[in-house]
Amino acid sequence: MSLGTWGLSGDGYGHVDEGVAEAVIARCIEMGMNLVETADAYGGGKMEALLGRVLADKDVFVVTKGGTDRTTDPPRKRFEGDYLRERVQTSLKRLKRERIDVYLLHNPSVVALGSTNAVETMQALVKEGLVAHWGVSASSDEVARLAIEKGAEVIELAYNLFQGADLHRIAGDIMVAGVGVLARSVLSHGLLTGYWPKDREFPEADHRSQRWTKLELEQRVTQLDAVRFLVRGDVYTMRAAAVRFVLANSLVSSAVLGPRSVEQAEQLVRETGGGPRYLSDEQLSQLPRSLQKMGILT
Round to whole Å and give the CA distance between 278 and 95: 34
Q: Quick one: which of 72, 1, 16, 20 has its CA closest to 41?
A: 72
The rounded distance, in Å, linking the Cα atoms of 218 and 214 is 6
Pick from 107, 72, 68: nearest CA to 91: 68
Q: Would you state the pLDDT for residue 247?
A: 96
Q: What is the DSSP letter of 136?
A: E
Which amino acid belongs to residue 282?
E
pLDDT for residue 273: 74
Domains annotated for the chain, with CATH where assigned, are 2-194+231-280 (3.20.20.100)
Who contacts 291 (Cβ-Cβ below 8 Å, separation ≥6)? Answer: 161, 162, 226, 227, 297, 298
State how far Cα 165 lies from the chain centre.
16
Integer CA distances (angstroms), 158 to 8, 55, 118, 189, 235, in order: 19, 26, 22, 11, 23
pTM: 0.95
Instruction: Name every residue whose Cβ is closer than 8 Å to that of residue 176 and which is 6 or more positions away in sequence.
Output: none
Taking the chain (298 residues) in runs of 10, the rounded mean pLDDT of each run is 96 92 97 96 95 93 94 87 96 97 97 90 98 97 97 97 95 97 97 94 91 94 94 92 96 97 96 83 91 81
